[in-house]
Chain A
Amino acid sequence: MTISRLTIHELHELLVKKEISAVELTREHLDRIQKLDGDVKAYITVTDQLALEQAKAVDAKISAGESIGTLAGIPMAVKDNLCTKGINTTCASKMLDGFQPQYSATVVHKLQAENAILLGKANMDEFAMGSTTENSAFFATKNPWNADCVPGGSSGGSAAAVAADLAVYSLGSDTGGSIRQPASFCGIVGLKPTYGAVSRFGLIAFASSLDQIGPLAKDVTDTALILNAITGYDKQDSTSAKYDYPDYTKALTGDVKGLRIGLPKEYLGEGIDPEVEAQVRAAAAKLEELGAVVEECSLPYTRYAMPAYYLIAPAEASSNLGRYDGVRYGLRVQAKDVVDMFCDTRKQGFGAEVKRRIMLGTYALSSGYYDAYYLKALKVRNLIKQDYDQAFAKYDCLIAPTAPTTALHKGQNQDPLALYKGDICTIPSNLAGIPALSLPYGLDKNQMPIGVQLLGKAFAEPTLLQVAYALEQNTTLTRLKPNQGKGL
């Protein structure tokens, strides 16, 4: 029996019909984690005791005849940069090794309120900086499709856990593609919601004006169900949007007739793997076949997104990561005075990529460079947003690659700049704050999944889900499963 392969909505049916109990479902996942995660290394922390307790509580509700929500009793994982009270929250950094926050993130509370089952905390690039999950201070996560490949990042653990059926779904965070790119590399669905749609309270900040929490799931329906649970205004987050959040499952109509879809040329061509581009065009053709209107379009400032992003994000990060100074929590390296304690703690606590970005950000904010770098980047950010505004005046949705390539091989890229360039397809939407979804769409010649990205204007998640669902219902290319014998 492969219940671990099932989706949220399929498992919910089984739970309601009492064909399976939440405890059985949870045990199944915990057993798989025990058996397989030694290889995949998706989890930093497994909360087996807690998961079983939560599952028992759900089973008690079901036996008592209480109605349960769709997420109730469904085992999931959250990225290790989401604060979980009393449970290790490390950001995959030595700096926070053993750190047990005194409070939980808003999204964690929301999932608890839905009676979700927390299996554990997923591996990631340290402080979400990276695109391979090789920057974890603890260990690298493997791609379930090919153990020699990276799962992508920074939410690589969250993506690998879902792809390897070590969790039914997971939460990640996306600052420059950190949900979508690993979803693409691992052949699952990943969505970065509109900035402000999901509370950031309790998400350990990387770059505050770009960070968004979102789901990684096995299909589009699950994505909508998770979104229903995690979106919403939060008075603890000043940047949280007061908005009449819809029931996202209502968007799953399968109908895209008359939808206007743009195919931005800047996301195709040079720098994009031809196999990836071919699949994007194939998906566009499929939508056309289903009655959508597809046109090539242009977002001329796209090529400036990478430099703008790599100034803004490190600048915010350099400030956000100042608090790791060894005084109140986390690592402390003893030293003769406070300044040495700060410097030695941060030297030993942070990995190379984190230090590189702190340095870059500090430099960009330094007096004498602020106007030329940071302020300029914020202006360019506005131009990028205006590009999108103009595009969305004409189109309901844009279609593009999620990443220029399929999953990279382990250790393939030691050059930071080359890795930064791998984010070109995902970064612009973070700068503009708009929602973007990565949908698996076929495999390359090496049997590695390809991701197609859908982008919409702010709060157009329903449109993205509508388009993704139509593709999912009309091809066999979206629900991909790794050959686990080979991959692991």
Chain B
Amino acid sequence: MISKEVVEKVAKLSRLNLDEAEIALYAEQLSQILDTMEGLQQIDTDGVVPLAHVLPIENVFREDDVGQCFRQEEVLANAPEQSDGMFQVPKIV
């Protein structure tokens, strides 16, 4: 069972502002979902390599050659708020 406190901590880490009802709902649903995950623990995975990539691709590189950048107005094209060619954000702390 996932407690409300854990849900609140996870919401904070996820930068999600949840209301009380959502916290209660997610506590219940995440608990249910995670219960079904418990089945995984029965499997013996000793010596099994974790598979992060399905294809055996390795050493993909690009050469150190300069390419095209955006113009400043392209960079800022979708900026919710901008100032002096930069993205404006509210105060940090």
Contacts and interface: CB of A to CB of B under 8 A. Distances in A.
B1 interface: no
Interface in B49-73: 49-55, 57, 60, 62, 70
A257 B50 CA distance: 38
Give the most central of B34, B54, B89: most A CB within 10 Å: B54
Interface residues on A, range: 35 or more
B18 A347 contact: yes
A480 to B, nearest CB: 32
A205 B2 CA distance: 28
A335 interface: yes
Contacts of A206: none
Interface in A290-348: 301, 303-304, 306-308, 310-311, 318, 322, 325-332, 334-344, 346-347
A337 B51 contact: no
Interface residues on B, range: 35 or more
Contacts of B7: 359
A359 B16 contact: yes
B70 A308 contact: no
A328 B88 CA distance: 9
Given A209-B54, A385-B54, A362 B78 contact: no
Nearest to B22: A355
Q: Per DSSP, are chain A's interface residues mostly helix, strand or loop, or mixed?
A: helix
Contact of B55 (A99, A196, A304): A196
Given A102-B74, A329-B78, A383-B48, A360 B90 contact: no
Contacts, number: 164
Interface in A57-88: none
A286 B47 CA distance: 42
A311 B37 contact: yes
A359 B10 contact: yes
B36 interface: yes
A432 interface: yes
Nearest to B7: A359
Contact of A209 (B30, B53, B80): B53
Contacts of B54: 195-196, 209, 385, 431-433, 458
A324 B47 CA distance: 38
Contacts of B93: 337
A253 interface: no
A327 B80 CA distance: 7
Interface string B13-35: 11111100010001001101110
A360 B30 CA distance: 7
B88 to A, nearest CB: 9
Contacts of A310: 33, 36-37
Contacts of B22: 355
A416 interface: yes
Interface string A338-375: 11111110110010000110111011001000001101
B81 interface: yes
A377 B45 CA distance: 10
10 tightest A-B contacts by CB?
A433-B54, A378-B50, A329-B78, A332-B80, A343-B17, A382-B51, A379-B45, A347-B17, A238-B60, A342-B15
Given A307-B40, A359-B26, A363-B30, 11 more contacts: A209-B53, A239-B57, A304-B39, A307-B36, A311-B40, A346-B16, A355-B16, A355-B18, A373-B40, A378-B50, A383-B45
12 contacts: A209-B53, A310-B33, A318-B14, A332-B80, A341-B89, A346-B16, A359-B30, A362-B10, A363-B30, A373-B37, A381-B50, A383-B48
